[in-house]
């Protein structure tokens, strides 16, 4: 059961992290997208465009050197209606 860390880099030294555990047989990328999208709902301000996801070393409590890592990208859909009202929907997804 590896543990993963999602890094929300807000610019400069402002960073926050979200953690999740991947069970055997689960898709790690899908779990990372779910965790990132849950955090996106409570996010104030402009969200980061790219998130880094890294496997954690449970003993050292830091990212595993040479472990599994990948990136999630922010995707959005913006619609402008004839009345001038704008709606925007955004989510994170994994791109190969």
pLDDT per residue, tens digit, the chain (96 aa), is: 899 999 998 888 888 999 999 988 789 999 999 999 999 998 888 899 999 999 999 999 999 999 999 999 999 999 999 999 999 999 999 997
Q: For the purposes of burial, counting CB atoms within 10 Å of the CB of 32, is it exposed (0-12), middle (13-18) or buried (19 or more)?
A: buried
Cβ-contact 71, 29 below 8 angstroms: no
Q: How many domains does the chain have?
A: 1
Spatial distance between the Cα atoms of 39 and 7, rounded to a whole number of angstroms: 11
Question: Measured between alpha carbons, how far apart are the two ends of the chain, in Å?
Answer: 23
Mapped onto helix, strand or coil, the DSSP state of residue 12 is coil
- Give me the domain span that covers residue 61: 3-93
Cβ-contact 43, 49 below 8 angstroms: no
Spatial distance between the Cα atoms of 70 and 96, rounded to a whole number of angstroms: 9
């Amino acid at each position: 059961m590896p543990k993963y860390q999602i890094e929300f880099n807000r610019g400069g030294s402002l960073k926050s992290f979200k953690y999740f555990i991947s069970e055997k047989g689960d898709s790690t990328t899908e779990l990372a997208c779910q965790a990132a999208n849950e955090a996106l709902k409570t996010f104030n301000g402009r969200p980061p465009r790219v998130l880094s996801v890294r496997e954690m070393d449970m003993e050292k409590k830091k990212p595993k050197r040479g472990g599994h890592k990948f990136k999630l990208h922010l995707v959005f859909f913006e619609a402008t209606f004839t009345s001038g009202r704008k709606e925007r929907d955004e989510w994170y997804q994994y791109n190969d």
